[in-house]
Amino acid sequence: MTGLAEGGMAVKGLGFTYPDGTRALHDVSFRIEPGACVALIGANGAGKSTLLLHLNGAVQPGAGTVTIGGLEVGPGTLDAVRRTVGMVFQDPDDQLFMPTVQEDVAFGPRNLGLSEAVVAQRVARALATVDLAHLANKPPYRLSAGEKRRAAIATVLAMDPGLLVMDEPTTGLDPRARRQLLELLKGFGHTRIIATHDLDLVLELCERTIILHEGEVKADGPTLRVFEDPGLLAACHLERPLSLRPCPSCGANPMIAPY
């Protein structure tokens, strides 16, 4: 992985207002250490996607800063930042546009100006990581939803990022594909930021959770502690993960060992 993210990342006093006057973020601050897996949760409209777009400079802040590995994100640093911040969008079709899976995965490394030998190595490694080597020559539109999601992740892994940012990674997946994706993400050593409504995934995968509500950070702490605060969850229009709710039949308390 690239060395830029070795110093972690920091968001300080981040604010952003859309041209129509909608305030999406207000004084958002947090730090993430290298190798951590952090969930970003909140109701629709909380500001999650807007925040993610700031992490690779797709959106410039109206106030505050985003720093990746000691390098402040801005017009003069975008190339370096985008090589280390891998964005996996909610809809895989936004990232898959080439005739074959292999060509999609090769697209990013080729645009870095790498030699074809290095590109081939990165493509092979990325496809092997997501268990899609056998589908390298298949058109992306012929993939299942779970395969598309893994192919989109491979396009990012081929860029050798240090920081992996994912927006709603389990959307549209059946239970088996969701489980496969969860096991895949557990094996990554990248720093991971996952914005999601799948709170059971958060409970199993992320040791830390940040709640955004109306563009502000309302909680930031150990995941289980966050989910055990019913007042906080209600105020932020969230509910406990299903695996933490009492059994609807017998009322027994859940028994779960997160992570």
Nearest to 223 by CA among 247, 244, 245: 244
What span, in angstroms and rounded, lies between the C-alpha atoms of 54 and 165? 11
> Length of the chain in residues, anyone?
259
DSSP for 139-203 reads -GGGS-HHHHHHHHHHHHHTT--SEEEEESTTTT--HHHHHHHHHHHHT--SEEEEE-S-HHHHH
Q: What is the pLDDT of residue 253?
A: 61
Q: What is the pLDDT of residue 149?
A: 93
Nearest to 190 by CA among 224, 166, 217: 166
**Phi, then psi, of 9 in degrees rounded to 5:** -140, 155
Is there a contact between 23 and 215 (Cβ–Cβ < 8 Å)?
yes
β-bridge partners, 6: none
Give the residue extent of every domain in the chain: 3-244
Q: What is the pLDDT of residue 3?
A: 42
CATH superfamily of 3-244: P-loop containing nucleotide triphosphate hydrolases (3.40.50.300)
Q: What is the pLDDT of residue 60?
A: 92
Residue type, 86: G
Is there a contact between 211 and 218 (Cβ–Cβ < 8 Å)?
yes
Q: What is the pLDDT of residue 8?
A: 79
Residues in the chain with pLDDT < 50?
Answer: 1-5, 257-259
